[in-house]
Amino acid sequence: MSAAVDQGRAHYTDRVVNLLITNISRDPVLVTSATLHSALYEGAADWKPTRTGGTRVAAGSTVSLPAELPPAQCSAGQQAEAATHRITVTMDSERSGLSTVEVRASDPHNVLSRNHSEDCLAQAAASVAELRIDQTLKVLPGSGSAVVGIAVEPSGGKDSMVIESFGTTTLLDEDGKHAWPRDLRVHGTDPASRLNLHIVPMRCDQHALAEDKLGTRIPVSIAAGRWHGVLRLNAGHEFDRAVYSFITEACAAAGQTG
């Protein structure tokens, strides 16, 4: 066996990674369990078989097994880039029977270090305040724009963070007439407040809506404690539907649907 870790775009916001198990032997094997171990995380990430008995991997083939990451170990002194990762695989074959092996897992796209940094940034930010997107949009009649409301709910703690900027997505752009908030320092003891993002469609082709994965996840650049990076705010399906409806109607009104 050889092993690697990767992540598809559809799983960027749900903390699910793919355990890539390659059968480098001459015989097919039945993989019954696979577990990822990393110093970056507390506990292990287990693949949970959807079929009784496991999954068959032909000789020379690779199978992708989804596993949800456990909580990040943010107090670890080890640098994320230097951490080692291992995957334990239990398998059954006609030649050798049932066996368990542990192999070093490569991470060519730095999936685990990226998720670790995002998880720790999210923890540091949450210790200061929660950022929560309104489920509905305030559509401004006749303007082709709408307003995304974001509630800022401080935790009451002693820490602070800086909301440096909000980013565009494949679907949403900044309304040039109303600049988005930038460089806002938030203290855990601040009163609750609200931010408004005036948005316009980034693009109007129907393919963008049909294939959307991250277009409604608004990125925000944050510095909190020793962590700095970008978090994607996920408001949920109701907000997604409101965005899709707004883009469809705004593009149709501008005669730009296609």
| Model confidence pLDDT, tens digit, residues 115-137 | 999 999 999 999 999 999 999 89
Give the position of tokens 């407040």. 193
Structure tokens at 26: 């001459």
* Assigned token pair, 21: 């198990």
d(CA 258, CA 251): 9
Residues pairing with 38 in the sheet: 85
Query: In this predicted model, what pLDDT tens digit does every residue of 28-64 receive, in sequence order?
Result: 999 999 999 999 999 999 998 887 788 999 999 999 9
**C-alpha closest to that of 198 among 176, 220, 214, 183:** 176
The overall average pLDDT reported for the chain is: 91
Maximum distance among all Cα pairs of the chain, rounded to whole angstroms: 71
pTM: 0.84
Q: What pLDDT score does 78 carry?
A: 47
Distance from the Cα of residue 249 to its chain's centroid:
28
What ranges make up the beta strands (E) of 10-96?
16-22, 29-38, 44-46, 55-57, 62-68, 85-93
- At 250, the pLDDT band (50, 70, 90 cuts) reads very high
* H helical segments located in the chain: 111-126, 206-210, 237-253
